[in-house]
Amino acid sequence: MDKKISILLFIMVLAIPLLCFSQAPTKKIQKMSFDFVDADVRNVLRGLSDVMGKNIIIGDDVKELKDKTITMKLDNVSMQEALDLIIKSKDLAKFEEDNVIRVITLNKLNIEKKREAEEKALIQKEKLEKLKQGEEFSTETIFLNYTTANDVVKVIKGETTGTAVGVGAASGMKGLLSEYGTVTPVTWSNAIIVKDTKNNVENIKKMIKEHDFAPPQVQIEARIVQASSDFSKELGVQWGASYGWTSKELGNKAVEVGASRNYGASSGATAYTSPTGLVGMRTDGATTSNFPYNVNLPAAVGPGSGGTFGIYIGSVFNSFQLDVQLSALESSGKGKIISNPKVITSDNKPAIIKQGQQIPYQTVSMSGTQTELKDAVLMLEVTPQVTKDKNVKLKIKATKDRPLPAVAAGIPIDKKEASTELIVQDGETAVLGGIYEIEEGDSESGVPFLSKIPILGWLFKKEKRTDTKSELLIFVTPKIVKNLYK
């Protein structure tokens, strides 16, 4: 009798703050304290559910617990937290649906899960038997050459497209599995195990055979040239870009890819957006912006009177002529070939070429002074895509980093970046220009001995300030590796 009264009082005490809480304007969760001593766990659960305003169903298996009492002291916890802790302490499980809480033992939960799994397996087996009566089932292991097992499984199940995983047009596999068909990847041997109707298995094998081929290989040759500012004009670069599959020019002769920062530069360019949506991107310092193509610029794009940054895209149709001109460039002293790297990459895989230096700088922290390195490089990232008519679509990203004079906080890096997409023929050369460097220098000349006389020496010598302006040109030539292309 005393225990029942204590439980009733416990419920009433809990009900009072809950009522006050329900009338409060805020929805803050009420924290409470609980102290149970040898209390029947079923009565405690009923009391909590009443105070929470929920219905509770306690399974018969809970009555069979050897120890039905609970001793627990909880401080500053919510009703839900108290309920969860009590359930966990007695190895129980609860299910909440709408306003009803069902409590059973963990043993009963495992039995129910096992029974549900057996029922599902039986239903699946019955469906398979019915299906087998109408059509023969087959299990086959399919080994892959160039695609990966996990990617092909995703395509077969319709979880992704074939293009995304490198299976060409294999997105047609979606729906080839029947309702009861299965496909399993075997990663260690790069194979898949397909279990389905014989007709579906044959269709999957046929689809894989059509699209599991070696991707095209593309050789990317880059010629990085530092030349006089008018060399591109002498070379006869056609500043422009192509779109579509038939090498049509944008505008008349010129396309500027990149927003220029001009100080007195020529104007009059007309903004135009490429029909295929090809857009360039420039990052100058910490600012990144997208911009459309500009057309109707002069055939040889040069800097303004104060200097320009903008990366221009053009083309040279005769690679032999290019090599001859570059050799003549070095012979005449108007420039030099900085590097001529070549790299082979797969279709739709980036080829990255870097050239530059790492600048050491010191950082001070609690652990002491450390020396770290910053990249100040010219980086060229080219991603080729071979089209059906054997042209090459190039996604080009060029970055030019230059260290600035050191400051107290470290070494700032002047970062210039541009990216674009264009289509060139196999073996045709795309040109990236518009990166100008200005070197300033002072020189002194005079009459020997006399120019060294204090004060009067200025009459016999002169100082000369020279500004040397050069343009960095990047020639990119993609060549499809014929023997690997099907």
- Tens of pLDDT, residue by residue over 152-172, are 988 888 776 544 444 444 444
User: Is the pLDDT assigned to residue 106 strictly greater than 60?
Assistant: yes
Output 281-290 pairs: Cβ under 8 A, ≥24 positions apart. 281/417, 281/418, 281/419, 281/420, 282/258, 282/310, 282/311, 282/416, 282/417, 282/418, 283/399, 283/415, 283/416, 283/417, 283/418, 284/309, 284/415, 284/416, 284/417, 285/414, 285/415, 288/417, 289/259
Q: What is the arithmetic mean of pLDDT over 257-283?
A: 32
Q: What is the pLDDT of residue 317?
A: 53
Average pLDDT over residues 393-415: 77
Residue with tokens 């004009």: 233
Length of the chain: 486
Once rounded to an integer, what is the mean pLDDT over residues 204-223? Answer: 88
28-133 and 137-159+177-213 have identical folds = no
Instruction: Specify the higher pLDDT residue, 244 or 470.
Output: 470
Q: How confident is the model at residue 410 (pLDDT cuts 50, 70, 90)?
A: low
pLDDT of 383 reads: 93
Cα(485)–Cα(146) distance, integer angstroms:
13
Question: How many Å apart are CA 259 and CA 291, to the nearest integer?
Answer: 7
Task: Give the residue-averaged pLDDT of 132-149.
Answer: 82
User: Could you tell me which of 390, 400, 394, 399 has the C-alpha nearest to residue 382?
Assistant: 394
Average pLDDT (288-300) is 33
Number of Cβ within a 10 Å radius of residue 405 = 6
More confident residue, 432 or 201: 201
* CATH fold for domain 28-133: Phage tail protein beta-alpha-beta fold (3.55.50)
- CATH architecture, domain 137-159+177-213: 2-Layer Sandwich (3.30)
Residue 268: what pLDDT? 33
Sign of CA dihedral 322, 324, 329, 335: positive
pLDDT, position 142? 93
**The predicted structure's pLDDT at residue 131:** 61
Q: Tell me the average pLDDT of the chain.
A: 70
Record the tokens describing residue 47, joined without a space: 């009391």
Residue 14 has pLDDT above 60, yes or no: no
CA-nearest of 238, 233, 267, 268 to 255 is: 238
Output the six-digit token pair for 92: 């129980």
178-192, 264-278, 423-437: which is most confident: 178-192
Asked whether 35 and 73 are in contact (CB, 8 A), the reply is yes
Task: Give the residue extent of every domain in the chain.
Answer: 28-133, 137-159+177-213, 335-481
Check if the beta carbon of residue 48 is closer than 8 Å to that of residue 92. no
Summarize the confidence of residues 61-80 as an average pLDDT: 80
